[in-house]
Structure 1
Amino acid sequence: MKKLFLIISCCIFTANLYAQTLVNETEIGDGEPAISPAPIAIIPEPVSLMKKAGTFTLPENVTIQTTKGGDVKQAIIYLTDRIKTATGKFVSTANAANHPTIKLILNTQPDAQLGNEGYKLNVNPTQIVITANKPAGIFWGAQSLIQLFPTEIESKEVVEHIKWKVPCVDVVDYPKLGWRGLMFDVARHFFTKDEVKQFIDNMVRYKFNLLHLHLADDEGWRIEIKGLPKLTEVGAWSVKKVGTFGDFTPPTADEPRTYGGFYTQEDIKELVQYAQDRFVNILPEIDVPGHSLAIIASYPELSCTPGAENYKVRSGEKIMDWSRGAPPIALVDNTLCPANEKVYSFLDTVLTQVAQLFPFEYIHMGGDEAPHNFWEKNDQVKALMQREGLKTIPQVQAYFEKRVEQIVIAKGKKFMGWDEILEGGVSPTAAVMSWRGMKYGIQAANDKHNVVMSPTEFAYLDYMQADPITEPKVYASLRLNKAYQFNPVPASVNAQYVIGGQANLWTEQIFNFRQVQYMVWPRAFAISESVWSPVEKKNWSNFVDRTEEHFKRLDLAEIKYSPAIYDPIINVKRSPDRQLMIELTPEIDGLDIYYSFDNSTPDRFYPKYTSALVPPKDASMLRIITYRGKQPIGRLISIPVTDLQKRSK
């Protein structure tokens, strides 16, 4: 009896093992093992996703079919390129095909639920169908489809010997906001036309549709303006410095001003077309009246301040005193003169050409952080105040902003500025980008101004995203968890005037494009979900799971990202008896933290963190690493105890 039971058990075990082998390593025709469908991990989270039984397997010959007269060529180009690059399969477009692999359908009768950018994605065992009202919806549906493929779809070369499976799903999806932006500061450090294109390619993967280009600042003027050649001959160039921006020594006269660059008008046209082909609008920003040192170095007559002819484009040396907060005290007057008519003629010339180059309806004119100390003592400004009945310096800036808005409107565009334009009064038609928290955006929307929310506490991607010991030092931090809490349409706001939300990447401390990517991803995942997905669909644990799947995709796509979510949050305090106490908190669940104080490198056989640490008396270094199970997952962090002591103060 025992022998019979043993034989039956062995048979069952063998049968199960064989069945499992068939599932995991099925040989299909040519001896290639199938690959299991990737986990469903779409970012941003769709409005509705229903998983169905079965999978779709990509055939050797892929046919993409469109409805007659449907202009979805950009989605076809995108899908063809992505599929061919990684799979090596033949992709064709044949509208007469009896049973196409992928069907792209533009609705003849609009589906009110989908709007201009929504889509439906249906994956069945024999076919994939994307339906939308507009080509943009088809394009965003294609992004979600690619995210359903195995991670190997991100490879830049053909991946051999696998079958490409996609889980069967029904997706209904559309954005929460029409303006879903990323701001790229190309003024502080210049980034090439091809790097801007890479930035666009990366952002559309996650359904961002607005690129805000910060084109002018103290460190550089980046756009050709015909008739004003010094803007690019002088204003586009500085002295190359590396290290900590803001702490550089002032350049000497003999240091070459060869660092920088600018975009020709032909470059701009090319970038605008490249973006439009991917359903992205480009918002140009010319930041005035502050942040204008590159203008003044080029045309010093636009300054109120004597001696401006000696000013140079900033190379990272200190030019502002922020010890008393905003507005700063200017050590160098980086403002255009609001009392000088030449300034308005200059801006008219600039905006005439900017308006012609950028078809988007808005032009952003800055307005932030304009120092007042030079204006306060200037006779021209005092005369302006008396002539116009202005009582305060904020009213002087409001006078400037209103005149600039009229120039913008005269070019057939809408005016937008940072939230400082609200101070001193603003035109009812001005749009506001709220960066100093949510309150100014809420105030502006409730006063019936169009508003884009981009608050520092949730959406400033130049902030440190991990412990300062691991990051280029910036004055503030923004962890992924905090970015994920961004809600651009809070309950207290008049929602109809919140036209969008975006994240901003200032580049003072960002010297190369790989660091651009590191600072953007994965925090831009959180922003994309905040501006696209319904707030009730947001779930931190689920988002973390999807983010980790996308780390694998970014690895294969050769896009740099920050692994900061695996690093613990380090807090330092003093006990009542003044002992140093070090608290380590994982940002995500499921991690163990191991540490050492003896100058050696910890692994999982070292002490595990369970409660606040007190450094041994003569210890000089704390080292920390995180594990998931038996595998190291976080970066090795080494912090001098002296640094921790300084933090406790």
Structure 2
Amino acid sequence: MFFCNYVRLFRGAEQAQQDTASDIKIIPEPVSVARQSGYYQLPAQIKVYYNKASSEDSKELGFVQKEFTSRLSKLNPQAKLIPSDKTGANVRFVLLDKDRSDTTLKTEGYLLSINAKTGVTITANKPAGLYYGIQTLMQLMPASLTVGAAGSGEVAIKLPCAEIIDYPRFAWRGLMLDVARHFFTKAEVMDYIKEMSKYKYNMFHWHLTDDEGWRIQIDAYPKLTSVGAWKVKKIGYFGTFSPVTAQDKYDYGGFYTKQDIREIIAFAKAHFVNILPELDMPGHSMAAIASYPELSCTPGADKYHVRSGQAGFMDWTDSGIVAHYDNTLCPANPKVYQFLDTVFGEVAKLFPFPYIHIGGDECAKTFWKKSPAIAQLMKKENLKNMDQVQSYFEKRVEKIVESKGKKVIGWDEILEGGVAPNAAIMSWRGEKGGIAATQMKHDVVMSPTTYAYLDYMQGDPAIEPHVYASLRLKKAYQFDPVPEGADLAYIKGGQANLWSEQLYNIRHAQYMTWPRGFAIAECLWSPKSRKNWDSFVSRVEAQFPRLDADSVKYAPSMYDPDIAVALNSDSTLNITLNKELDNIDLYYSVDNSFPDNFYPKYTGPFKLPKDAAMLRVISYRRNQPIGRLISIDIKALRARIKK
């Protein structure tokens, strides 16, 4: 009870100080920050005390202890665990007893207190709260080591005195990584999970199967990995590759053994991250069909191969998806449900998380429409259209998944034709599907392309690897998982998705994730009222040295402008340079030379000279270059008018 009273007193007395903490730059923004006078200097040897180490939470407390020790070790001080606080701990981790717990903090909240005399105390109801308190504490420490006065033997880690109360807005805070289009190793997946946990993400959505690869070992169906995990290596722009030839080798890819998966699950648990496995179906199933052609409705499927990204696989038209190869599991084939019963049985035993994601997106019905087996199924089950055929499939899959003790979640297409009774919905095609699902009393995770697709370009197309759409950092920061019209009671939270068609290595996956991953993290954790774009930008910039210290790649795209082009009446081009940040200056050249801060400064739209061949733009802050040089020729500029 004393803790609850303290929190109420603290919230009232310190409210005026919450926005004065200029030296406290945390992502995601905490619920409440009260900066107090002074600093606490950590000694070279830190004494750490954990209470309730022998409680029912002892295993998770072990995770907390390991996390703090490993994070601190990079800054060199030796942390010493002490059995009693009587000897004067510098850092204390305190778990509250059940009868003294604070209902506001729940299972993931914490109170972080830094006092000039008594040091650091992190208080929580559960170990998860202590873990997230550590992530905040580490952001208050320097990104790299600075040594104190000569001969002092001290390490200069000076912490601002403050009281921070924090807890998440949503329970589901996710990042999805697609390992099907390009395979990432066990170590790379672990590193990705570790980085996301630093910013209080707690859900790793693992997209394990697609047309381009099956990545999970299934004992009963070994061809899923001996055949389905391998494709022809091609580099360029996915979806435009040349046809595969008889001389090409299907030797690019990989898969995770069950032991790999157990190790990754254990690693994620130690970082307080759940793992949601996804097996995409009935579409996006070419890797499975190439392995076991009998899963298809279509004659000739035994000639199919795992897709390698070549052109001509599908067309996206105004009237729907037109498939040139049948990449769907056959809803009319009893062997499909026998296959799925076995597969989900093995998957359910591996993954402790209560949900399994069954995909359901972008299912092309081209071949179903001309299948006699589908026609017979429709007649037998009184199905009126192809959406109802897919719904029939999804409902049968839900029963299989539930028979394994798990619950189903799928992309919002599974709403079409009649949603499975107990399915949760992941809304990706904007917010409409999620809103509708909450009104139907289905649980929803919001993940709209509008704000949360990290595979989209994050800067001007002239400088970013080409993708068909863009998502700037500022737009991602506008994400609200509870759109107008949605029933909050059914919103579990949200997540960002990183599809890997154009990702050839983990460094580029990092580049695409950060800093937009910071924006989504804050939208999912922080109170809506605490969000502020200018504050967020300054806090993002404070994270860059930390990413540098951890050798994590990130995008500087927020410093680069978008170049917009319009056609003047005399057929010359009118150029507009749009900035994300107000505190940068743009300089440009139109004479083929390389601009610096002695070139024309952009103050508004300008006319490109009639015979100009090249536009170059660079951004500066305080007379120092901060963005990348963007070069775009006249042909590319004119192409933007057409778009």
Q: TM-score scaled to structure 2, two decimals?
A: 0.93
CA distance in 1, matches of 2:108, 2:312: 44
Deviation (angstroms), 1:326: 6.9
Aligned 1:82-97 pairs, distance under 5 A:
82-86=71-75, 88-97=76-85
Residue of structure 1 equivalent to 2:436: 443
Q: Secondary structure at the match of 1:286?
A: strand
Partner residue, 2:548: 555
> Could you tell me how far 1:636 is from its partner in structure 2?
0.5
**Matched letter for residue 133 of structure 1:** N
Shift in Å, 1:572: 1.1
| Equivalent position amino acid for 1:606 in 2 | Y
Question: Residue 25 of structure 2 is aligned with which of 41, 45, 51?
Answer: 41
Say which SS state the counterpart of residue 415 (structure 1) adopts: strand
**Conserved? CA contact 1:599–1:623, under 8 Å:** yes
Structure 1 position 631, deviation (Å): 0.4
Of residues 319, 340, 350, the one that matches 1:347 is 340
* 1:52 equivalent in alignment to 2:44: no
Distance 1:383 1:598 in 2: 68
Which residue number in structure 2 is paired with residue 585 of structure 1?
578
Secondary structure of 1:448's counterpart equals coil
* Greater radius of gyration (CA): 1
Match of 1:258 in 2: 251
Alignment of 1:411-450 (within 5 A): 411-450=404-443
CA distance in 2, matches of 1:432, 1:181: 14
Query: What residue in structure 2 maps to residue 623 of structure 1?
Result: 616
SS of the counterpart of 1:466? coil
The share of aligned pairs that are identical, in percent, is 54
Aligned to 1:105: 94
| Counterpart for residue 629 of structure 2 | 636
- 1:603 matched to 2:601? The reply is no
Q: Secondary structure at the match of 1:262?
A: coil
Does 2:109 correspond to 1:118? yes
| Counterparts of 2:639 and 2:351, CA distance in 1 | 49
Contact 1:38 1:150 in 2 (8 A): no
Matches within 5 A, 1:458-537: 458-537=451-530
Are the counterparts in 2 of residues 602 and 624 from structure 1 also a CA contact under 8 Å?
yes
**Quick one: which of 106, 111, 122 aligns to 1:130?**
122
Deviations 1:268-320 (A, max 9, x none): 11111110111100000000000000000000010001100000001111244
Matching of residue 151 in structure 1 with residue 143 in structure 2 = yes
CA distance in 2, matches of 1:487, 1:576: 41
Answering whether residue 308 of structure 2 is matched by residue 289 of structure 1, we say: no
Q: Which runs of 5+ in 1 are unaligned?
A: 1-36
- Is the alpha carbon distance of 1:134 and 1:326 closer, same or farther for their aligned partners in structure 2, counting shifts above 3 Å? farther
Contact 2:314 2:325 (8 Å CA) reproduced: no
Aligned-partner SS, 1:645: helix
Partner of 2:260: 267
Q: Counterpart of 1:73?
A: 62
Q: For residue 408 of structure 1, what is the aligned residue in structure 2? A: 401
The answer to whether 1:140 aligns with 2:132 is yes
Structure 1, 611-620 or 229-238: larger mean CA deviation: 611-620
CA positional deviation for 1:466: 0.4
2 CA distance for matches of 1:231 and 1:428?
30
* Matches of 1:604 and 1:203, distance apart in 2: 37
Structure 2, unaligned stretches of length 5 or more? 1-20, 148-152
Q: Offset at 1:90?
A: 1.5
Q: Which amino acid aligns with 2:81?
A: T
Task: Provide closer, same or farther for how the CA distance between residues 153 and 482 of structure 1 changes in structure 2, counting only shifts above 3 A.
Answer: farther
Quick one: which amino acid aligns to residue 29 of structure 2? E
Aligned to 1:34: none
Which residue of 199, 205, 214 maps to 2:207? 214
Structure 2 residue 261 is matched with structure 1 residue 277: no
CA distance in 2, matches of 1:85, 1:172: 26
**Letter of the 2:502 counterpart:** Q
- Matched residue of 1:304: which SS? coil
Q: Secondary structure at the match of 1:528?
A: helix
In structure 1, how many angstroms separate the alpha carbons of the residues matched to 2:634 and 2:159? 51
Q: What residue identity is the alignment partner of 2:27? A: I
* CA drift at 1:449: 0.2
Alpha-carbon separation, structure 2, partners of 1:96 and 1:44:
33
Contact 2:44 2:154 in 1 (8 A): no
Task: Kindly indicate whether the alpha-carbon contact (under 8 Å) linking 2:216 and 2:257 is maintained by their aligned counterparts in 1.
Answer: yes
* Cα distance in 2 between the residues matched to 1:323 and 1:451: 26
Q: SS at the partner of 1:215?
A: strand
Distance 2:315 2:599 in 1: 44
> What's the CA shift string for 1:26-46, capped at 9, x where partnerless?
xxxxxxxxxxx9921100000
Deviation at 1:125, TM superposition (A): 1.1
Shift of 1:646: 0.9
**Superposed CA offset, 1:63-104 (max 9, x none):** 110113352221211111121222x22211112242101100
| Number of corresponding residues | 608
* Deviation readout 1:619-643 (Å, 9 max, x if unpaired): 1111100000210001001001110
1:492 CA displacement:
2.0
Distance 1:248 1:405 in 2: 36
Which of 215, 221, 226 does residue 228 from structure 1 map onto?
221
CA distance in 2, matches of 1:449, 1:461: 26
Q: 1:613 to 1:602 in 2, by over 3 A?
A: same
Distance of aligned partners of 1:323 and 1:409 in 2 relative to their CA distance in 1, 3 Å threshold: closer
Aligned pairs for 1:349-368 (under 5 A) are 349-368=342-361
TM-score between both structures, scaled by the size of structure 1: 0.92
One-letter amino acid of the counterpart of residue 284, structure 2: H
Match of 1:24 in 2: none
- CA 1:254 to 1:320, structure 2 compared with 1: closer, same or farther past 3 Å? closer
Contact 1:103 1:129 in 2 (8 A): yes
Equivalent AA in structure 2 for residue 610 of structure 1? T
Choose 615-624 or 539-548, whichever is displaced more: 615-624
User: Is the 8 Å Cα contact of residues 572 and 609 (structure 2) preserved in structure 1?
Assistant: no
Q: Is the 8 A contact 1:82 1:153 kept in 2?
A: no
Aligned pairs for 1:186-225 within 5 A: 186-225=179-218
Matched residue, 2:9: none
1:64 maps to 2:48: yes
Q: Distance in 2 between matches of 1:319 and 1:575?
A: 38
8 Å CA contact retained: 1:154, 1:557:
no
Letter in 2 for 1:80: T
Q: After superposition, what is the alpha-carbon deviation per residue over 1:511-531, rounded to whole angstroms, capped at 9, x for unaligned?
A: 000000000000000000000
313-322 vs 182-191, which deviates more?
313-322
Q: C-alpha separation between the residues in 2 aligned to 1:312 and 1:603?
A: 51
Per-residue displacement from partner, 1:390-440 (whole Å, max 9, x unpaired)? 000000000000000000000000001100000000123110000000111
1:248 maps to which of 241, 246, 249: 241
- The answer on whether the counterparts of 1:417 and 1:432 sit within 8 Å (CA) in structure 2 is yes
